[in-house]
Amino acid sequence: MAKIGIIGWGVVGQAIGKGFETKKGNKVFWYDKYKKGPHTLDEVIKESEFIFLCLPTPMFSDGSGIDPSIMNEVVDQIAPKIVKTDKVLVVKSTIVPGTTFSYKKKYPKTNFAMNPEFLTEANALGDFLKPDRTVIGAFSQAVASRLASLYQDLYGPGSKIFITDPTTAEMVKYMSNALLATKVIFANEMYDLCTALGIKYEEVKDMVAADTRIGPSHLNVTTVRGFGGKCFPKDMVALIGFAKKRKIDASLLKTVWQKNLRIRKVRDWENIEGAVNFKKKK
């Protein structure tokens, strides 16, 4: 039996909470600042051994990166209260590499872990219950083992679990989404080439996707071109901004993002709650 706390009862938080509740004996306590719930923040902290942070990290509207202020604020609220306890603060939200390390540096006596989510909004609970893999980034083997046991109890002994450091775990999420976003734009370009040749893209796509190295995901091209939603735009912007700060050439990522802005007529992410921060960057 595990006592699990969820901070942020949105798509991710609900998928995790409801997912863990499918395991008999688990107890889930959740809190959301903007939703009426059964528990206060202090109650969640007191009752839980694992506290999952499922909070928005919106992109700045100027495309310079993401705003971690909500996550930072909640970490500052919780971390001092669980110093020198066996409670674990688990970051689920997508944050730039090195962020969890900065939290640990600020609160060295608090247990932190980075455990990225790989959920689709359309099937969040199903994705959580049947993941391709689980990635756990921790500062100690003891914390990593406890989290791994939590997931093994839920998924069974054959589940694929990777244990690494938090910064690597953060990068895994960004690389995954950046690669998939790039695949979407690549597919759109191939669609245009096929159209110019007078051949059927669907036929070409199916034969290309039969290669197991490539696979069929993210190759469909619809009338709504490019990629949108809450995650891909935000994560591309974050990774480009992260690279720029470190003077790393991210020309491929920039090209993908700029091409998406050109072909995506409806920038739906601008109207999704928690996806974009339209306030001026401080």
Each residue's pLDDT tens digit, 46-62: 999 999 999 999 999 88
Same fold for the domain at 3-168 and the one at 172-276?
no
- Residues 58-113: tens digit of each pLDDT: 999 888 889 999 999 999 999 999 999 999 999 999 999 999 999 999 999 999 99
pLDDT band at 280 (very low <50, low <70, confident <90, very high): low
Architecture of domain 3-168 in CATH? Answer: 3-Layer(aba) Sandwich (3.40)
Residues annotated as part of the active site: 231
For the chain, what are the domain ranges? 3-168, 172-276
How far apart, in whole angstroms, are the C-alpha atoms of residue 9 and residue 37? 9
State residue 138's pLDDT score. Answer: 99
Using the Cα atoms of residue 102, residue 105, residue 106 and residue 110 in order, give the sign of their dihedral: positive
Instruction: Specify the DSSP class assigned to residue 66.
Output: B
pTM recorded for the entire structure: 0.93
Q: Is a pLDDT exceeding 60 seen at residue 142?
A: yes
The tokens of 62 are what?
A: 């100027």
How far apart, in whole angstroms, are the C-alpha atoms of residue 14 and residue 54? 9
Architecture of domain 172-276 in CATH? Answer: Orthogonal Bundle (1.10)
Give the pLDDT mean for 5-11: 96
Q: Is a pLDDT exceeding 80 seen at residue 273?
A: no
State residue 64's pLDDT score. Answer: 85
- Residues 16-30: tens digit of each pLDDT: 999 999 999 999 999
